[in-house]
Amino acid sequence: MKLIDGKAVAAQIKLEIAEEVKQILASGGKRPHLAAILVGHDGGSETYVASKVKTCEEVGFQSTLIRYEEDVTEDELLGKVCELNENPGIDGFIVQLPLPKHISEQKVIETIDYRKDVDGFHPVNVGRMSIGLPCFVSATPAGILELLKRYDIETSGKHCVVLGRSNIVGKPVANLLMQKAYPGDCTVTVCHSRTKDIKKYCLEADIIIAALGSPEFLKGDMVREGAVVIDVGTTRVSSTETKSGFKLKGDVKFDEVAPKCSYITPVPGGVGPMTIISLMRNTLLAGKKGIYGYL
């Protein structure tokens, strides 16, 4: 069994991005600038956004954090999105999800200029991704593919089972892995909360992407010998073992599943660090106007 070290891969890519930023600046280019909008004080969102801002600093990007209280109106938020769309100094921006119930996430996403949508959530980016055109690919699926690539894991002709059908992970990763490319060329099955006998599908899988958000869902008896298991779960559970008072639990019962795998990602230190680094890559691309040209 080989542990896929997302933390180490992310650290390597961070150096690569930082080097590229230095070159851009040395040749008179502009420092890439990411803005993030954070609404409310959800613990998970606070942590993720703080991590994004910190990583921007580490790779040499400029970052701007815009905060709103939980009771911000949809109109006010949409107004800020339009302002960021128009601001030539901002290369890309994200609105951290989830948003409070009185705000339509879909409306917010569709208001973002797709050319600045470094999260890859806008329907233009999702649509282009699904037919293999250049676009911003959302960060978690991009991070998963990068791990498969950097560990040289064979995907062509493999049966990949994706657990979960979210717009952020399940759907896009299933789509990317079925495309005629490497990593890709998989036969993909998507399982979700209404799937009958998930175990049957998992036992037929060469690659399992677990993205249900259900702690320790995937047990040892659901995985066949030699499978590749990618754990996307990051449920926060309270814990007395950590200073913060919580720890992250994956969707995989690691102790049972790991001995059967050829490769497996841990939680934390697997997919998580790759998600943030993929956002940085998209921001670098946005700064270079590398997909949609000059705005």
Judged by DSSP in three states, 70 sits in coil
Residue placing its CB nearer to ligand GUN in the complex, 9 or 112: 112
Judged by DSSP in three states, 152 sits in coil
Q: Is 119 a catalytic residue?
A: yes
Q: Is 65 in the site for ligand GUN (CB under 6 A)?
A: no
Residue placing its CB nearer to ligand GUN in the complex, 3 or 97: 97
Contact with ligand GUN (CB under 6 A) among 113, 119, 216, 231: 119
Residue placing its CB nearer to ligand GUN in the complex, 119 or 216: 119
Contact with ligand GUN (CB under 6 A) among 66, 97, 178, 258: 97
Residue placing its CB nearer to ligand GUN in the complex, 56 or 139: 139
Neighbours of 29 (CB within 10 A): 12
Catalytic residue among 91, 119, 231, 251: 119
Distance CA(93)–CA(29), nearest Å, equals 19
- DSSP string for 137-167: PPHHHHHHHHHHHHTT---TT-EEEEE---T
Q: Is 289 a catalytic residue?
A: no
Q: Is 251 in the site for ligand GUN (CB under 6 A)?
A: no
Distance CA(138)–CA(211), nearest Å, equals 14
Q: Which stretch, 55-63, 95-103, 218-226, 238-246, contacts ligand GUN (CB under 6 A)?
A: 95-103
Given a contact cutoff of 8 angstroms between Cβ atoms, the answer to whether 152 and 182 are in contact is: no
Q: Is 96 a catalytic residue?
A: yes
Locate 158 and state its tokens: 């493999």
Largest CA distance in the chain: 58
Locate 246 and state its tokens: 């919580």
* Positions 128 through 167 that interact with ligand GUN (CB under 6 A): 139
Estimate to the nearest angstrom the gap between the alpha carbon of 186 and the chain centroid.
Answer: 20
Q: Is 96 in the site for ligand GUN (CB under 6 A)?
A: yes
**Residues in the site for ligand GUN, rule: CB under 6 A?**
94-97, 119, 139, 168
Active-site positions read 52, 96, 119
